[in-house]
């Protein structure tokens, strides 16, 4: 082999060596819809065994098979024996949405180690969860780690009832339907938090995630209106209109 074909093969080999150093490898073993516009994708492999994972963390997936295009997804579930579940929300366009829509059983996936500080604070006596579809995976992982439903409060918003991701302690949450109203700058979600009977903020933690302006509005309700300490409100802006993602 010589010329352009040889150059392409060398480039491919270099790419694979670099990916092997910086990314974990797994194979898709299950893929199924779990809510409107959301698929659960299970990835299994030896690289996944024995990882340190905290409820709410995320991984960065190489969605184009190369080094440059990565998208961040919260972990729905992790099994230390060597598998993890992602739930990918189909937002309509872009390489991440296409990957989540079309990835199939048998496909190989490369991704980084679990990371992120938007995680459950197990020492709190009560936990308040607020967000919409893009937050529901991380919030769901946290909810699954809480054995006592009496410690759970919160509001989760979806466009339709079919968009509700099944979560633990769902009966302790208030569920909103926004219909055609935008998820961005959601006064409806902020009002939902205003209507909550909240626990003592000195002993509680609130987890607020989703669209950036909505996250700020909800944070202001908790801190400015309800008197919560800033350190007791953990936030994660996952997206904003016109931007592909935030970190």
Do 90 and 173 belong together in one domain? no
Token pair of 114 as six digits: 């679990």
Do 82 and 158 belong together in one domain? no
- Is 186 in a helix, a strand, or coil? coil
pLDDT at position 91 is 84
Do 63 and 145 belong together in one domain? no
The average pLDDT across 26-40 equals 97
Over residues 35-55, the pLDDT tens digits come to 999 999 999 999 999 999 999
Long-range contacts (CB closer than 8 Å, 24 or more residues apart) made by 173-180: 173/129, 178/132
Q: Return the percentage of the chain with pLDDT > 70, whole number.
A: 90
Do 104 and 146 belong together in one domain? no
The average pLDDT across 25-40 equals 97
Cα–Cα separations (whole angstroms), residue 92 to 2, 71, 78, 97, 211: 42, 14, 27, 6, 16
**pLDDT confidence tier of residue 245, bands split at 50, 70 and 90:** low
Measured from the Cβ of residue 180, the count of other Cβ atoms closer than 10 Å reads: 5
Do 147 and 73 belong together in one domain? no
CA distance 71 to 144: 24
Domain boundary among 46, 80, 111: 111
Do 138 and 233 belong together in one domain? yes
- Work out how many domains the chain is built from and give that number: 2
Do 135 and 89 belong together in one domain? no
pLDDT at position 68 is 84
Residues in the chain: 247
Q: Confirm whether 97 is domain-assigned.
A: yes
pLDDT at position 157 is 98
Residue 13 predicted with pLDDT over 60: no
Q: Confirm whether 52 is domain-assigned.
A: yes
**pLDDT confidence tier of residue 1, bands split at 50, 70 and 90:** low
pLDDT at position 11 is 47
Which pTM was predicted? 0.90
Token pair of 14 as six digits: 């270099």
Burial class (CB in 10 A: 0-12, 13-18, 19+), 169: buried
Per the rule left: phi > 0, alpha: psi between -120 and 50, beta: everything else, 209 is beta
Q: Where are the alpha helices (DSSP H) in 28-186?
A: 94-102, 133-144
Residue with tokens 């006592």: 148
Q: Confirm whether 141 is domain-assigned.
A: yes
Helix 187-194 / helix 212-220 crossing angle, nearest 10 deg: 30
Range of the domain at 40: 3-111
| CATH number for position 73 | 2.40.30.10
| CATH number for position 130 | 3.40.50.80
């Amino acid at each position: 082999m010589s010329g352009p074909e040889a150059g392409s093969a060398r480039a491919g080999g270099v790419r694979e060596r670099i990916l092997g150093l910086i990314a974990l490898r797994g194979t898709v073993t299950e893929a199924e819809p779990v809510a409107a516009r959301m698929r659960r994708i299970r990835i299994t492999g030896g690289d996944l065994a024995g990882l340190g994972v905290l409820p709410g963390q995320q991984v960065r997936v190489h969605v184009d098979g190369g080094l440059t295009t990565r998208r961040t997804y919260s972990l729905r579930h992790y099994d230390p024996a060597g598998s993890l579940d992602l739930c990918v929300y189909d937002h309509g366009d872009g390489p991440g949405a296409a990957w989540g829509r079309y990835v199939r059983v048998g496909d190989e996936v490369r991704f980084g180690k679990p990371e992120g500080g938007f995680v459950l604070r197990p020492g709190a006596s009560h936990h308040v969860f607020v967000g919409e579809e893009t937050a529901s995976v991380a919030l769901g992982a946290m909810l699954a780690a809480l054995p006592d439903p009496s410690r759970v409060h919160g509001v989760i918003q979806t466009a339709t009832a079919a968009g509700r991701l099944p979560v633990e302690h769902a009966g302790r949450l208030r569920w909103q339907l926004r219909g055609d109203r935008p998820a961005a700058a959601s006064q409806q979600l902020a009002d939902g938090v205003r209507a909550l009977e909240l626990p003592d903020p000195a002993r509680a933690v609130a987890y607020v995630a989703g669209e950036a302006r909505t996250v700020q509005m909800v944070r202001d309700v908790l801190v400015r209106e309800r008197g919560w300490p800033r350190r007791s409100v953990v936030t994660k802006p996952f997206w904003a209109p016109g931007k592909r993602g935030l970190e």
